[in-house]
Structure 1
Amino acid sequence: MKHLDDVPPRRGLVIFLNGTSSSGKSSIATELLRTLEEPCFHMPVDAFHAMRSRTPVPQDQLATVLHRTWQGFHRAVAGMAAAGNNVVVDHVLSAEWRLRDCLSLFVPQDVVLVKVHCHPAELERRERERGDRPPGLAAGQLARVHAHGVYDLECDTGRSTPQECARRIKEFLARRPSPTAFEQLRRSPSH
């Protein structure tokens, strides 16, 4: 085994899956981890929320606690990538500040931004089937989550299986164009 001093520095790739709740991000991430040839970490924002203690949060402090959780999540992802780890991010960019925060933290050339979506009726069906999300959560996120409009790749999970989406993403990685969506968004005056 190598000494840590012998590990060459590198930047990790961030495959950023953005979509509403129940859009299929986690299913695609699971398939990506099976499909990609290099080690990769799945970092879903839900896992960070699940790490929080079960201590009740007063309603007037909830927004602050959630904001800090998302900020910490973004920094954890950036740290993993900066250490040379490949990361699959599973996130909901339903607030503009979240995108701005990620744009400020991630190396834009190393991010593949993937739009994950399906028909609203399918989102509603999946929410009902899951039973662990408030009804209408995904519908409420729909108008905001893709508002920035720029992506490297798109996956419609109503028309493609998670395996097909993962395969498309893997094929895309071999021929990533420049500038990336993150580079374009970072240059945009609105971000």
Structure 2
Amino acid sequence: MGAPGQIVILNGVPRAGKSSIVSAIQETFDGVWMNIGVDVHVRHMTPERCRPGIGLRPGGERPDLEPLVPVFYAALYDSIAAHARLGLNVAADVGHHDAYTEPRAILTDCAQRLAGLPVLFVGVRCSLETIMARRNLVDSSREGQYVTGSTDEPVPEPVKSWQCAVHDPGIYDFEVDTGRMSPTECAKAIRRRLDQRLERPAVFERLAAMGE
């Protein structure tokens, strides 16, 4: 078997622009890049009665689904690993938070499932103001999918929870800001970072060691 494929994990809140970056990666990077992440998992694989599942907000809104969250993540990351071991590159959009488990238990478990594979862990940052502007923008194709603001509650509590929980502990190999950069610019920056081939241990390697 040949060399494993490269994995890029994009971690950020909903509406941060992760899926747009994945699309830019698929369109502009050399080689075959598979899209395996939260959007694909929730919209095309998860039974409707089990949603939001892996995309569960960190606010405890669906305690009946909380036990499924670690299982969904485990299945997602095992799939990412299987594709990479076959030589396929993978770009995955996720929104990690461990509100239902021991500190960072899900994240460390996911990191262990990618042990021995090349992983770039990218933090996708975006200001709360930009997130709310995107949430409030009318989009008939995603009507009812995202919580929006109102006069009484300009920034809903679930949105605040996401903003605080997803970037904890906030340790990444690389970060991009989608409020200042377009998806294509973010993809180019990620490509440059991959080309640098820095020698220091990757973040996912350190996270995996935390769970040993």
- State the TM-score, normalized to the length of structure 1: 0.85
CA distance in 2, matches of 1:60, 1:190: 25
Within the candidate set 63, 74, 78, 2:77 is matched to 74
In the alignment, structure 2 segments of 5+ residues that lack a partner are 52-61, 99-103, 149-155
Q: CA deviation at 1:13?
A: 1.0
Q: CA deviation at 1:134?
A: 2.2
8 Å Cα contact 2:6/2:84 also seen in 1 = yes
Q: CA deviation at 1:144?
A: 1.7
What does residue 103 of structure 1 align with?
111
Q: CA deviation at 1:109?
A: 5.4
8 Å Cα contact 1:24/1:117 also seen in 2 = no
Q: CA deviation at 1:34?
A: 0.8
CA distance in 2, matches of 1:52, 1:61: 15
Within the candidate set 47, 60, 66, 1:53 is matched to 47
Q: CA deviation at 1:21?
A: 0.8
Q: CA deviation at 1:152?
A: 1.2
CA distance in 2, matches of 1:167, 1:44: 20
> Match of 1:174, SS?
helix
Within the candidate set 188, 191, 209, 1:167 is matched to 188
> Percent identical across equivalent pairs?
27
8 Å Cα contact 1:17/1:90 also seen in 2 = yes
Deviations 1:99-130 (A, max 9, x none): 11211100355000111011111111112225
Within the candidate set 132, 143, 146, 1:133 is matched to 146
Between 18-27 and 123-132, report the one with greater CA deviation.
Answer: 123-132
Matches within 5 A, 1:8-19: 8-19=1-12
Distance 1:55 1:9, change over 3 A: same
Between 38-47 and 134-143, report the one with greater CA deviation.
Answer: 134-143
Within the candidate set 63, 85, 89, 2:88 is matched to 85
Structure in which a larger fraction of residues adopt helix = 1
Aligned length: 182
Q: CA deviation at 1:26?
A: 0.4
Q: CA deviation at 1:25?
A: 0.4
> Match of 2:196, SS?
coil
Q: CA deviation at 1:27?
A: 0.6
- State the TM-score, normalized to the length of structure 2: 0.77
CA distance in 2, matches of 1:190, 1:100: 6
Deviations 1:15-51 (A, max 9, x none): 0100011111001110011110111101121221222
CA distance in 1, matches of 2:49, 2:208: 37
Distance 1:56 1:119, change over 3 A: closer
CA distance in 2, matches of 1:56, 1:20: 20
What does residue 62 of structure 1 align with?
65
8 Å Cα contact 1:109/1:180 also seen in 2 = no
In the alignment, structure 1 segments of 5+ residues that lack a partner are 1-7
What does residue 185 of structure 1 align with?
207
CA distance in 1, matches of 2:26, 2:160: 28
